[in-house]
């Protein structure tokens, strides 16, 4: 018997296991795939660690604290430019006024876009301190980001929708205006204090957590079929060991029992594993965790004629298969740059994960349509599509947060970006701490 069974080996599950093991608890961690880290995935492309899931460590968050505790090297994300790709033309500038002036838009659209940028910048600085959000004014989180762009010309709305989706996954109609500040406006104002980059990639944090586990029973390629209470007041977890790839089942069904269970899998998976009360099902129904596809590209920019590309940081790409292009380390100055193209509006494309499908090549052509000067300079690329990505920061989810975080029967717990006040890996790590602290408090009382 275990004190705690953790279902899911992503950031929330690993961090919860790490916290609980350090407190002396007997833990089993069950992961369905053959790798740990979940959506914190980093691949090597031409010697470069490139993130194919989560991108940044946000300053002052649980992910930042964990990275420091685990000795994961970080550098600040320090953008100097903002860019827009409009009607087939890419414009990048350190000055937003100059940027808008060079865009192939009507004078009316240019004026509306510049006015929006100025308003968004003022709102950002009014609601942040040192790059971090202040507690929102009452009702602010109930407003959608769409309310900020409703009165703009259609072409400007299309452009800003791509930028907002690229920075936050959500469509502006679904995104809380509060978090549009963090995930979009911060790029617009060239904020240099709110994001850090893991030099080894975002997977370095879960890898360090996993390496720190000494007594935890970690079982990969083990799918949890069901979780249910037993007659002893404990939880029974039904497990099916899996074979490699699609080869089928490699073992007979197994069971483990535990005093506590943590559900650290994407929200859409939970109701298929455990029979839950209506109030919890209703809360989970408030969570939207759509798919996303990402293209990672490494390029050689050692030619002096390409020097300005080193400073590219964030480019919104309306009309392309992806929404934005992000360079996590602008201004490196070593002749190499990496760009991650976020296709949040593209959603989940299963065939993208098949190297023979041609999707990678199609997306590379889209990338070269934005940056034609890089044709012949690409040294490597990779594509990844996720069925369940970032849990959208919607006002609806915010309203259900109390129920999302509440345990069932006091001992079935829920931890992930879906139950966090924010989202992403920083939300997942914060939830791991909240839930592990709650379990330890319960056990100490018992």
Q: How do residues 15-73 score in pLDDT, each as one tens digit?
A: 999 999 999 999 999 999 999 999 999 999 999 999 999 999 999 999 999 999 999 99
- Cβ 434 vs Cβ 405: under 8 Å: yes
Pull the structure tokens for residue 360.
């990678």
**Domain ranges across the chain:** 2-39+203-287+392-444, 81-189
- Tokens 């510049």 locate to 114
Alpha carbon 435 to its chain centroid, in Å, reads 20
Question: What is the phi-psi region of residue 352: left when phi exceeds 0, alpha when psi lies from -120 to 50, beta otherwise?
Answer: alpha
Q: What is the pTM of this model?
A: 0.93
Beta-sheet strand order (sheet of 57-58): 57-58, 195-198, 74-76
Cα separation, 30 vs 262, in Å, equals 10
> What is the per-residue pLDDT for 435?
99
Give residue-wise pLDDT tens across range 261-292.
999 999 999 999 999 999 999 999 999 999 99
- Cβ 89 vs Cβ 101: under 8 Å: no
Per-residue pLDDT of the chain (446 residues; tens, 9 = 90+): 999 999 999 999 999 999 999 999 999 999 999 999 999 999 999 999 999 999 999 999 999 999 999 999 999 999 999 999 999 999 999 999 999 999 999 999 999 999 999 988 988 888 888 877 776 554 445 677 888 889 999 999 999 988 888 766 677 887 777 667 667 788 999 999 999 999 999 999 999 999 999 999 999 999 999 999 999 999 999 999 997 644 455 689 999 999 999 999 999 999 999 999 999 999 999 999 999 999 999 999 999 999 999 999 999 999 999 999 999 999 999 999 999 999 988 999 999 999 999 999 999 999 999 999 999 999 999 999 999 988 887 888 989 999 999 999 999 999 999 999 888 899 999 999 999 999 999 877 65
- Longest alpha-carbon distance in the chain: 72
The number of CA neighbours under 13 Å toward the Cβ of 133 is 19
The residues with which 30 forms a beta bridge, in sequence order, are: 7, 219
> What is the per-residue pLDDT for 129?
83
> What is the per-residue pLDDT for 173?
81
Identify which of 378, 374, 217 has the alpha carbon closest to the alpha carbon of residue 308: 374
User: b/e per residue, 198-216, with b = 16+ CB within 10 A?
Assistant: beebbbbbbbbbbeebeeb
CATH of 2-39+203-287+392-444, one of 2.40.50.1020, 3.40.50.1820, 3.50.50.60, 3.90.1530.10: 3.50.50.60
Cα separation, 141 vs 178, in Å, equals 5
């Amino acid at each position: 018997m275990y004190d705690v069974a953790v279902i899911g080996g992503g950031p929330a599950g690993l961090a919860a296991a790490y916290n609980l093991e350090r407190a002396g608890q007997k833990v089993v961690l069950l992961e369905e795939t053959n790798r740990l880290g979940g959506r914190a995935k980093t691949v090597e492309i031409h010697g470069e660690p490139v993130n194919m899931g989560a991108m940044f460590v946000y300053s002052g968050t649980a992910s930042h604290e964990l990275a420091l505790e685990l000795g994961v090297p970080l550098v600040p994300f320090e953008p100097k430019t903002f860019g827009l790709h409009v009607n087939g033309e890419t414009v990048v500038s350190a000055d937003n006024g100059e940027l808008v002036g060079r865009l192939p838009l009507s004078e009316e659209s240019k004026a509306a876009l510049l006015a929006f940028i100025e308003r968004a910048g003022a709102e950002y600085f009014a609601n942040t301190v040192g790059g971090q959000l202040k507690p929102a004014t009452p009702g602010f989180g109930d407003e959608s980001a769409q309310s900020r762009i409703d009165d703009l010309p259609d072409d400007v709305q299309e452009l800003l929708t791509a930028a907002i989706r690229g920075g936050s996954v959500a469509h502006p109609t679904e995104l809380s205006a509060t978090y549009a500040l963090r995930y979009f406006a911060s790029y617009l104002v060239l904020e240099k204090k709110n994001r850090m980059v893991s030099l080894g990639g975002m997977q370095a944090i879960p890898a360090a957590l996993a390496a720190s586990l000494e007594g935890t029973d970690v079982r990969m390629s083990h799918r949890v079929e069901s979780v249910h209470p037993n007659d002893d007041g404990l939880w029974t977890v039904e497990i099916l060991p899996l074979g490699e790839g699609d080869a089928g089942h490699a073992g007979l069904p197994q069971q483990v029992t535990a005093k506590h269970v943590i559900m650290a899998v994407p929200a859409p998976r939970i109701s298929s594993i455990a029979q839950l009360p209506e109030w919890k099902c209703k809360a989970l129904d408030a969570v939207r965790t759509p798919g996303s596809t990402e293209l990672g590209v490494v390029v050689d920019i050692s030619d002096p004629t390409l020097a300005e590309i080193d400073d590219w940081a964030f480019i919104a790409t309306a009309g392309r298969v992806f929404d934005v292009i992000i360079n996590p380390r602008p201004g490196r100055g070593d002749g190499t740059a990496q760009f991650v193209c976020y296709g949040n509006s593209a959603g989940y494309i299963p065939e993208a994960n098949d190297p023979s499908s041609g999707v990678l090549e199609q997306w590379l052509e889209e990338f070269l349509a934005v940056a034609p000067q890089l044709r012949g300079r690409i040294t490597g690329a990779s594509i990844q599509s996720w069925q369940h990505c970032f849990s959208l920061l919607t006002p609806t989810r915010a309203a259900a947060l109390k129920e999302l975080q509440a345990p069932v029967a006091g001992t079935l717990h829920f931890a992930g970006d879906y139950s966090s006040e924010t989202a992403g890996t920083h939300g997942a790590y914060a939830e791991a701490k909240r839930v592990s602290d709650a379990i330890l408090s319960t056990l100490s009382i018992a």
